[in-house]
């Protein structure tokens, strides 16, 4: 990967953060953020023993959860 390509990828992802910071942004616990990263639901990567993600990945995760919830709500009929 060229330096220019790497720089462009970093610009798109925003600031690289720890899973502790991601948990704070997502309003969840560190173990939950770790579980999301390990399952692939939250885009993340490891550098040695430390997991990292990005602010953009957190925004994308939240956006996808809103979409999933919206679809679930549309499939439920409300009787009144």
Domains of the chain (ranges; CATH) run: 3-74 (1.10.10)
- pLDDT band of 39, cuts 50, 70, 90: very high
Closest CA to 44 of 77, 8, 19, 11: 19
| Residue scoring higher pLDDT (5 or 47) | 47
The whole-number pLDDT of residue 72 equals: 81
Q: What pTM does this model have?
A: 0.73
Rg over alpha carbons for the chain, rounded to the nearest Å, is: 16
- 78 has pLDDT over 60: no
- 49 has pLDDT over 80: yes
In this predicted model, what pLDDT tens digit does every residue of 2-16 receive, in sequence order?
Answer: 777 656 656 667 899
- 44 has pLDDT over 90: yes
The Cα 23–Cα 27 span in angstroms is 6
């Amino acid at each position: 990967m060229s330096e220019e390509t790497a720089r462009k990828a970093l610009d798109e992802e925003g600031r690289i953060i720890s899973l502790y910071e991601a948990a704070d942004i997502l309003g969840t616990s560190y173990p939950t953020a770790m579980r999301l990263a390990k399952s692939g639901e939250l885009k993340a990567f490891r550098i040695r023993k430390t997991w990292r993600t990005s602010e953009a990945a957190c925004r994308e995760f939240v956006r996808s959860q809103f979409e999933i919830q919206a679809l679930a709500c549309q499939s439920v009929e409300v009787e009144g």
